């Protein structure tokens, strides 16, 4: 994580963000049995890592605050009133099983998906009441979001910069730095639709960084990215946070979150189970073990796959 950028790439100057602006689980219910082990299913954490209440006041020095976010599809609720605060200047990880509601929650928080209930504030601006102000401060790498892939990488970044009202010369300067740092400078003439999955992830990250946002929300930013590029991205994001920016990152890789993040939230079945600093959430152990303790599962019923052993 501390290695330098490849010598063939010019150093990328990471914009410095301005820092001057910076519940217990319901009681009385009986946990349902775990479907495999028969033990009581885990629930939200208690103590300092317990989720905050939906009616909690929004702190002044938060980069992202969401309160009571809910979302339903086909009359089935998949996100059940999630509330959390992301401190300014933090590297905040969101982890959870597949289908936990991470992407849906981040999509609502960044204005990509309208919630059925709740609010989201980006650096004090209500995402749904003041979308233009909120989105100007925000860079988003969304999982599976369609883009203008019939453009080359340079054309896409130019388009993104001009749509955001940036001066052409500023777009050009930043674009060259980003393409070089992310090892995409040699892909001139190739359309984004012809990029590999890892290259596509990198050009979309460049699009999110181009306007020097004060908050980055990244959904699985290192998925499908080769190890060398992943190391460069880690370095860029670490420098960005050190300069005062805030990163919210979702991932399935606990080691990545544990190595990068200062804060972490655990989401499962559309509910927030724990939220706090990394040390508060993992409670003296590993993040993997805390995750398993809170989410449950991880066992295979004895004999259920015996046919594989014959």
**Per-residue model confidence as pLDDT tens digits over 238-263:** 999 999 999 999 988 888 999 999 99
Whether the pLDDT of residue 10 is over 50: the answer is no
Q: Quick one: 135 exposed, middle or buried, by C-beta within 10 A (0-12, 13-18, 19+)?
A: middle
- Whole-model pTM: value is 0.83
**Per-residue model confidence as pLDDT tens digits over 18-51:** 433 333 334 334 444 443 334 444 678 888 889 9
Nearest Cα to 222, choosing from 183, 184, 248, 253?
253
**What average pLDDT is seen over the chain?**
86
Residues 298 and 290: beta-carbon distance below 8 Å: no
**Domains present along the chain, CATH in parentheses:** 61-137+214-297 (3.40.50.300), 146-212 (no CATH)
Residue 298: band (very low, low, confident or very high) from pLDDT cuts 50, 70, 90:
low
Q: What is the mean pLDDT of residues 212-223?
A: 94
| Spatial distance between the Cα atoms of 237 and 23, rounded to a whole number of angstroms | 30
**Per-residue model confidence as pLDDT tens digits over 274-289:** 999 999 999 888 999 9
């Amino acid at each position: 994580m501390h290695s330098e950028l490849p010598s063939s790439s010019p150093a990328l100057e990471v914009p410095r963000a301005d820092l001057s602006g910076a519940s217990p689980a319901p009681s009385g219910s009986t946990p349902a049995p775990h479907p495999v082990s028969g033990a009581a299913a885990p629930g939200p954490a208690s103590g300092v890592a317990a989720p905050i209440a939906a009616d909690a006041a929004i702190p002044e020095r938060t980069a992202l605050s969401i309160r009571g976010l809910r979302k339903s599809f086909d009359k089935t609720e998949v996100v059940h009133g999630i509330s959390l605060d992301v401190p300014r200047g933090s590297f905040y990880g969101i982890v959870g099983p597949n289908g936990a509601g991470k992407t849906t929650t981040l999509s609502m928080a960044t204005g990509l998906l309208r919630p059925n209930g709740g609010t989201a504030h980006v650096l004090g601006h209500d995402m749904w009441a003041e979308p233009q102000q909120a989105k100007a401060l925000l860079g988003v790498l969304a999982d599976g979001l369609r883009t203008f892939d019939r453009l080359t990488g340079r054309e896409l970044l130019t388009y993104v910069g001009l749509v955001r009202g940036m001066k052409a010369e500023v777009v050009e300067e930043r674009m060259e730095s980003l393409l070089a740092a992310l090892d995409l400078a040699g892909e001139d003439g190739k359309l984004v639709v012809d990029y590999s999955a890892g290259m596509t992830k990198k050009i979309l990250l460049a699009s999110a960084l181009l306007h020097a946002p004060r908050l980055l929300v990244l959904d699985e930013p290192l998925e499908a990215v080769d190890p060398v590029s992943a190391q460069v991205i880690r370095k860029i994001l670490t420098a960005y946070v050190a300069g005062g920016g805030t990163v919210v990152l979702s991932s399935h890789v606990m080691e990545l979150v544990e190595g990068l993040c200062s804060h972490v939230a655990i989401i499962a079945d559309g509910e927030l189970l724990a939220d706090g600093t990394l040390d508060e959430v993992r409670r003296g152990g590993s993040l993997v073990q805390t995750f398993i303790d809170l989410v449950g599962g991880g066992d295979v019923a004895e004999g259920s796959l015996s046919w594989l052993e014959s």
